[in-house]
Structure 1
Amino acid sequence: MLKKNVLRKNSEFSAVYNKGKSVGDRYVVLFYRLNGLPYNRTGFLASKKVGNSVVRNRAKRLMKESYRNIEGSLPEGYDFIIIARNTICGKKCAEVEKSLNSAFRRTGVKKGK
């Protein structure tokens, strides 16, 4: 993931939270918003409710890998924030990817399988 493809500033996160829409699924919550750029930007979060630092980092790794696998099928020009739920603990990458895929389909951003 390139540096330009990552949400970094607090103002960028606030814009997605305040002006965007959200969809929840079993293991993740997805916030999304059009950004008017020719590429997507993404942020991954796991709060302390998910677990200790080891568990939170694993959750973020799982979400990043799942996003990387489905990234090619997404249209350009969106900001995404993907937040881990505490149910993500102990899950496999395939389960998280299925959940993330389902969330993207429910937003209307991604079509089909």
Structure 2
Amino acid sequence: MFSKYILRNQKDFSAVYRYGKSKSDRFLVLLYKKNNLSYNRIAFLASKKVGNSVRRSRARRLMREAYRLTEIKITEGYDIVIVARKTINDVKCMEVEKSLRSAIKRTHELYNENNK
């Protein structure tokens, strides 16, 4: 993932939290907001509630892989923040991917059904 696709600025995070929409699922919370760019910018967050640094890193890796596998289904032009929940620690990547797909499908704005 190129660095221009990563959400980093505090004001961008604040805008997503304040003005964006959210969908939650069993293992993660998906926050999103239109960014008026031709590409998506994304951030993966795991708070200390998820566990120690090893568990938080694993949670971010799982979410990153799930996003990579479902990226083709996402409409371009959004800032996306994916936040891990505590329950993400006890699951495999396939379950996190299903959870992310489910959250994306329920947004209707992000889901692009034309792509395979």
Smaller-chain TM-score range?
over 0.9
Residue 72 of structure 1 and its aligned partner are, at CA, apart by 1.3
TM-score (norm 1): 0.97
Residue 53 of structure 1 and its aligned partner are, at CA, apart by 0.3
Give distance in 1, aligned partners of 2:75 and 2:103. Answer: 15
Residue 111 of structure 1 and its aligned partner are, at CA, apart by 4.5
Give distance in 1, aligned partners of 2:76 and 2:31. Answer: 15
Regions of 4+ moved over 3 Å: none
Give distance in 1, aligned partners of 2:61 and 2:68. Answer: 10
**Which string of whole-angstrom CA distances, capped at 9 and with x for unpartnered residues, describes residues 27-74 of structure 1?**
000000000000000000000000000000000000000000010121
For the residue of structure 1 that corresponds to 2:100, the secondary structure is helix
Corresponding position of 1:30: 30
Contact 2:16 2:31 in 1 (8 A): yes
Give distance in 2, aligned partners of 1:36 and 1:21. Answer: 16
Give distance in 2, aligned partners of 1:72 and 1:4. Answer: 18
C-alpha RMSD of matched pairs (Å)? 1.1
Instruction: Please show how residues 18-57 of structure 1 align to structure 2 within 5 Å.
Output: 18-57=18-57
Give distance in 2, aligned partners of 1:9 and 1:15. Answer: 10
Give distance in 2, aligned partners of 1:79 and 1:50. Answer: 23
For the residue of structure 1 that corresponds to 2:50, the secondary structure is coil
Contact 2:75 2:112 in 1 (8 A): no
Corresponding position of 2:64: 64
Give distance in 2, aligned partners of 1:80 and 1:111. Answer: 15
For the residue of structure 2 that corresponds to 1:55, the secondary structure is helix
Give unmatched runs, 5+ long, in structure 1. none
**Which string of whole-angstrom CA distances, capped at 9 and with x for unpartnered residues, describes residues 6-26 of structure 1?**
000111100100010011000
Instruction: Please show how residues 68-107 of structure 1 align to structure 2 within 5 Å.
Output: 68-107=68-107
Give distance in 2, aligned partners of 1:17 and 1:104. Answer: 17
The sequence identity of aligned pairs, in percent, is 58
Contact 2:48 2:56 in 1 (8 A): yes
Give unmatched runs, 5+ long, in structure 2. none
